[in-house]
Structure 1
Amino acid sequence: MAQLILNHLSKDFGTGRAAVSDVSLTVREGGFLALLGPSGCGKTTVLRMVAGFEQPTDGSIILGERTLADGSGALPPEKRNMAMVFQSYALWPHMTVAQNVGYPLKVRGVTGAAWETRVRDALSVVRLEEFAARRPADLSGGQRQRVALARCLVTSPDVVLLDEPLANLDRHLKAAMEETFREFHARSGATMIYVTHDQGEAMALATDIAVMSEGRLIQVASPQEIYARPEGRIVGGLVGQGGILDLALPDQGPRLVPWPAIEAAFRQTAGPSRPVLVRPEHVVADPQGIMLEVRSCVFEGERFALSLRTAGGQSLKAYSATATATGSLQPFVIRQGWLV
């Protein structure tokens, strides 16, 4: 395996606005990178350029010592030693599980005992050894997805590319498949790039998250770093729950804003404001807090989710173990915020 580098990557389809603009990032060897962003932000175009289905307008893609693509040319997909999993499983219905998994080996001329060993090993990684003789129609949706993963692994690819593979699954199956992906990554050691618009999937699966918006890369960091210290309103609003308050805070000072500074800012009625991201878990009921109006209270199973509004009309979210009357004024402390 080798390190994958995207160097000032751009793609323009001639529509007047670049689909991808000047994206540079390094996918560390053996890492699990999630490309996260709303529909149309360019994440799938980046994945297709890495796979070889699209050629960059500018910039380059480098894997180890090889240049896979740049503005002047590109290696075809079959010469990149990559594997891709799509939303649809793309399994041959007339083939058995083993034949589906081993098809890429057959194309490469691998037969006999070597074929059987590598197919068996790939099915072992996704725990489907006993299903080798079955056909896709006899499998559940989750099992078919695991067959697609095994087919990726059988050729020992340098990089596994996943284009929103869980988008068509229901909530319970999605949770089970997230665990399968984590196990697959741990057992295979493959470098993986995972495209999704679901921040929950990205946070649960990835070792690193790259947030994109309007064709540009906004921030790359670990899930913990992205959540706690987002760069800008876009990342703050896209990753996790929370509200962004415009508060009268001094230009100088730490980006992590404690409660005393937040409380003082609420009393300040003049001066320029700065955006502060506040996560729901940092908004807690406290008699010493400021009065906020409870706009809604929704039971989520293990807790109640509150929508709150300040006296100035700004919105916040909070969690509560008990129901709170809608329309009531309640005191809350905002333990901390993060300047975005």
Structure 2
Amino acid sequence: MATLILNHLSKAYDGGRAAVNGVSLTVRDGGFLALLGPSGCGKTTLLRMIAGFEQPSDGSIVLGERVISTAEGVLPPERRNMAMVFQSYALWPHMTVAQNVGYPLKLRGVKGENLRRKTMEALDVVRLADLADRRPAALSGGQRQRVALARCLVTSPDVVLLDEPLANLDRHLRAAMEETFRDFHARSGATMIYVTHDQAEAMALATEIAVMSEGRFLQVAPPNEIYAHPEGRVVGGLIGQGTILSLPVGEGRERSLDRAACHALLLGEAGGSLCDVLIRPEHVRPAVDGIALQVRECVFTGERHALTLARADGSLLKAFSAERLAPGSMAVFSVERGWRL
């Protein structure tokens, strides 16, 4: 295994448009990094540069002690000791599960009992050893995805790259595959880089999240840190279900706001210049004393009710409630926490 380092990495296409613009990052050995952002933000282009499918316009990529990509040249993908999982799985339909998984080893000249043993070890990691003789057509979508993971693992890669691997699966199967990915990461010890536009996936899987927009990193942090303390309006709006309000913040410089500070801001008692404040729905709670808000919408989500609440000026807040509240009614809520962006 080896540390992966991106040094001021850029990729511009004809016409000068920069898909990736001067990003730098160190991915620790054995880490699980999620590249998160909307379509067109540059995350797949970045992944393809790491894989060796795209050459940087500027900067470099270093894996361990080797420089594997610069603007002057790239080490071919087959010499990087990396593996990639695609949305489509890319399995050969005429081969069995074992033959699909063992194929990269055959290309490296591994034969006989050594080939069989390494193949079965990889299938054991993804818990598919008992399906070794089946063909892909006889497998579910989740099982095919696990075959693709085993094929990655069989060559003991330094880095596993995953390009939105759950995008084609239904909601229930995606949840099951998230557990498979976590187990795969823990048992293999591989460094993993995972491209997704789904923040829930990124939060559930990664040890670190890099939020991208317009080819740049806006914030790189562990999931709990990026959720609690997002940097800027784009990150705050992308992560979680919070509401961002422009509020007069007074003279204080504290970014973490307690109940008293939130109520002062929402009631217009703080004064001063406007600042963006993020308020999460789990921090807006029914209370005896607090702020009177109008219920605009109440949607039952299966475990609780999701509320849309209106302040006197018409701006909206999100909240959760165990009980149904009638749209149009007034209710009192306490805002326990906020975060200045």
TM-score tier (shorter): over 0.9
Aligned mates of 1:267, 1:231 — CA distance in 2: 25
Identity %: 69
In structure 1, how many angstroms separate the alpha carbons of the residues matched to 2:266 and 2:147? 56
Query: Is 1:279 the equivalent of 2:280?
Result: yes
Q: Which runs of no fewer than 5 residues in structure 2 stay unpaired?
A: none
Tell me the distance in 1 between the aligned counterparts of 2:156 and 2:265.
56
Shift of 1:287: 2.3
Equivalence for 1:122: 122
Deviation (angstroms), 1:88:
0.3
Q: Within 2, Cα distance between the matches of 1:312 and 1:219?
A: 32
Partner of 1:277, secondary structure, is strand
Aligned residue in 2 for 1:212 = 212
Moved over 4 A (4+): none
Q: Say if 1:247 and 1:262, in contact at 8 Å, map to a contact too.
A: no
Preserved contact between residue 250 and residue 272 of structure 2 (Cα < 8 Å): no
Task: Please tell me the residue identity of whatever aligns with 1:321.
Answer: A
Match of 2:338 in 1: 337
Give the superposition deviation at 1:258.
1.1
Q: Is residue 135 of structure 1 aligned with residue 138 of structure 2?
A: no
How many corresponding residue pairs? 340
Unmatched tracts of structure 1, length 5 or more: none
Assess if the C-alpha contact under 8 Å between 1:8 and 1:22 holds in 2: yes
**Paired position in structure 2 for 1:199:** 199
**Contact 1:305–1:320 (Cα < 8 Å) also in 2:** yes
Query: Once the 2 structures are TM-superposed, how far is the Cα of residue 251 of structure 1 from its aligned partner?
Result: 4.1
Q: Where does residue 313 of structure 2 map in the other structure? A: 312
* C-alpha distance in structure 1 between counterparts of 2:304 and 2:268, whole Å: 33
State the Cα distance separating 1:268 from its structure 2 match: 2.7
Q: CA deviation at 1:71?
A: 1.3
| Contact kept in structure 1, 2:18 and 2:215, CA below 8 Å | yes
* Partner residue, 1:249: 249
Distance 1:308 1:21 in 2: 39
- Which residue number corresponds to residue 228 of structure 2? 228
Q: 1:71 corresponds to which letter in structure 2? A: A
Partner residue, 1:321: 322
Partner Cα distance (2:314, 2:229) in 1: 25
* Cα drift, residue 183 of structure 1: 0.3
More deviation, 204-213/257-266: 257-266
Question: What is the rounded CA distance, in whole Å, between the counterparts of 2:177 and 2:268 in structure 1?
Answer: 49
More displaced 10-residue stretch of structure 1: 12-21 or 62-71: 12-21
Letter in 1 for 2:249: L
Per-residue displacement from partner, 1:119-170 (whole Å, max 9, x unpaired)? 0100000011111111111111111000000000000000000000000000
**Any idea what SS the aligned residue of 1:19 has?**
strand
Give SS of 1:119's match.
Answer: helix
Classify the secondary structure of the residue corresponding to 1:91: coil
Compute the RMSD of aligned alpha carbons.
1.0
Does structure 1 conserve the Cα–Cα contact (< 8 Å) formed by 2:93 and 2:136?
A: yes
